[in-house]
Structure 1
């Protein structure tokens, strides 16, 4: 079984390592020659879990490489979906499956528009992972990845992944709801932590941050209700606070992007929510405020880097 992985961040490296351990042949598609040189010096991916380490030899190349692609994992930043995926389109076989495992919403439909909805599967993961160094991934929290078709067509996880694959998976016949649940948590936690420069757990401990989080959750619930999407059994704020507490020492990906002067996924997270809110006629003033503040902060950091 062969897998091509587009996006060598924490999740891409995590999947590459576990696929290799399960016996699959894995190739990473890297963004430029310098990144490829860095990879070749290491020769593979180092996986760290429970204070143990494994070296997982995988292949790597650039988007200009040739050869058919039967299974593709797309886990780039959401805003890179089209530019990363388009060069690989001629290599996808007629029966190829593309698993989209990204943050935010809207980019999944973008991928489907490029490769055809019948070939796209959507994933949403709660696995916690971070890069200790380039191509050295720490599996910090064991979660679960829900996978489902965008168009409702049947699919088989056993046919998609090798036996003995070490990450927890479950088929999901309502993947859109699952994506909205993750979007809800991301909209509540990521922008606040990025603006305040704080860890996730501070949102639960700081009364002012917590008050804002409650407002964000109420606004989000109004949009979800207008879209006919039922989120959680209880109030969203309870779930968001639980996640913040359970990941208390974590730095959100948006905060890390701001600190490293990288583009954030604010447009695919809060930006998507604001777009949907406008479409269904629901006011979300606090989300819009955060969207504009993150845009300004991101622009200021990127300009200072230049």
Structure 2
């Protein structure tokens, strides 16, 4: 397949590095400097034990090649989506799109697109961008993909791409899939960012664990159609499996970058408002993270 990946952050690089071993991948970064580096160096994936492999990919700044692709993967952060929405609207409607954003704010944008086939995904891998062409794969998980609308043949192609360190798994209810990831992100990201701790400390410190449990019950009041025990156990499992990792939101705070707090907690607060549900812990965490990233909270 010919695959274009929009976005060259940690997730974009990770996907390009693995998918480029089998498919013809073009990665589209925002900066010309990164584009030149990717063209020159390719993508280096550093795995556990410092094992490393390199993948040669194409890279360009423009979007002219998108209409020649068999699949376009959108791996930019949620807050960059409005900037590329006009590009996606103008794509040939026959080209499938796969969105890999945290949160659920992007669902509103999907409604305005003309593409016949749209997929949404959640990424369970741990990935840390080292430089413009190197990403550390510091937690092997899987990519869950579900059909938002259209035909499923493209899912079959991805699922059949069988590599132990980078599996794809088809899910059949896109909303439950996204809500599960949303709840996980809503718990781990803001708490670790505010407390400035690694993921594992949320469950090894009894006071933090007590806070996590109370906060989880508050969030569950908004998503009561989910399996409470299943989601809670998944949160604990991820904290254990990524115990030495810093969450993406904590990394954003430490590097003075904008976070995805609006796409995660902002979305949940709006949803709770429509259901007339009060979320005091969520609101406090939202305001704290907004203040830490230099936002006014307005």
TM-score by length of 1: 0.88
- Corresponding residue of 1:113: 111
Please list, as runs of the form range in 1=range in 2, the aligned pairs for 1:48-63 lying within 5 A after superposition.
Answer: 48-50=46-48, 51-63=50-62
Report the 3-state secondary structure (helix = DSSP H, G, I; strand = E; otherwise coil) of the residue aligned with 2:251: helix
Q: RMSD across aligned C-alpha pairs, in angstroms?
A: 2.2
- Asked if 1 retains the 8 angstrom alpha-carbon contact of 2:103 and 2:267, the reply is yes
Give unpaired runs (5+ residues) of structure 2. Answer: none
Report the 3-state secondary structure (helix = DSSP H, G, I; strand = E; otherwise coil) of the residue aligned with 1:269: helix
Provide the rounded CA distance (Å) in 1 between the counterparts of 2:159 and 2:280: 46
CA deviations on 1:213-237 (whole Å, 9 max, x unpaired) are 1121001111101xxx2234x1654
Give unpaired runs (5+ residues) of structure 1. Answer: 302-306
Please state how far the C-alpha of 1:246 moved relative to its aligned partner. Answer: 1.9
Please state how far the C-alpha of 1:58 moved relative to its aligned partner. Answer: 0.2
Please list, as runs of the form range in 1=range in 2, the aligned pairs for 1:287-302 lying within 5 A after superposition.
Answer: 287-299=282-294
CA deviations on 1:195-252 (whole Å, 9 max, x unpaired) are 1111011111223322221121001111101xxx2234x1654432332122110100
- Asked if 1 retains the 8 angstrom alpha-carbon contact of 2:104 and 2:263, the reply is yes
Provide the rounded CA distance (Å) in 2 between the counterparts of 1:67 and 1:221: 40
Aligned residues: 292
Q: Which of 229, 232, 239 is the equivalent residue of 1:244? A: 239
Provide the rounded CA distance (Å) in 1 between the counterparts of 2:276 and 2:291: 25
- Corresponding residue of 2:148: 150
Provide the rounded CA distance (Å) in 2 between the counterparts of 1:268 and 1:158: 25
Q: Which of 45, 48, 51 is the equivalent residue of 1:47? A: 45
- Corresponding residue of 2:177: 178
Please list, as runs of the form range in 1=range in 2, the aligned pairs for 1:197-276 lying within 5 A after superposition.
Answer: 197-225=196-224, 229-232=225-228, 234=229, 236-276=231-271
CA deviations on 1:33-59 (whole Å, 9 max, x unpaired) are 2222333342x1012224322111000
Provide the rounded CA distance (Å) in 2 between the counterparts of 1:235 and 1:20: 34
* 1:265–1:300 CA distance, 2 compared to 1 (3 A): closer
Provide the rounded CA distance (Å) in 2 between the counterparts of 1:108 and 1:96: 18
